[in-house]
Amino acid sequence: MRAFLGLGSNLGDRAYYLEEAISALTRPTLKIVTVSRIYETEPWGVMDQPLYWNQVIEVDTTLEPLDLLHACQAIEHQLGRERKVHWGPRTIDIDLLLYDNRASESEELKLPHPYLEDRAFVLAPLREIAPKLVLPSGKSITEVFGEGNVHPLMR
């Protein structure tokens, strides 16, 4: 199945955490298809924190959505993610944005990601790697920009 994951980091060596997360995601049940550039973005929610580096990756996986979510959470934990403040600073965040055309409204997993179309820091890298994507709302990725300032890094 095709899925898109959003990665973000704003503590410590942001490049290291993004690279390590992508490396840890690579496994027999999950193949990295495409990786966006890194974008520097303003925080979302809690504004008094360092700037984020964000990426989106496209994956092909045999994992079911909840299993993929749990794999992402395990990697976050391995890389020192602490869940102290909602929308607070973190070493790494891995969000399941889209999973094929599936929807979920369970307590543990909401698909598509409930803030997908609101966040420029997800939409810009998603638009880069999937310019023909039609979002679950029926809108083209080229029509939706979200909120926030997003700047691609020259890396």
Point out the residues that are catalytic.
Answer: 81, 90, 93, 95
Give the containing element (helix H, strand E) for 7.
strand 2-9
Task: Please give the distance of CA 12 from its chain centroid, rounded to a whole number.
Answer: 18
Residue 7 near residue 18, CB atoms below 8 Å: yes
Which residues, at least 6 apart from 148, have a Cβ–Cβ distance to it below 8 Å?
41, 42, 44, 119, 120, 121
Q: Six-digit token pair at 148?
A: 């926030």
Strands 104-105 and 30-35: unpaired
d(Cα 78, Cα 1) in Å, to the nearest integer?
25
Q: How far apart are CA 99 and CA 1, in angstroms?
A: 7
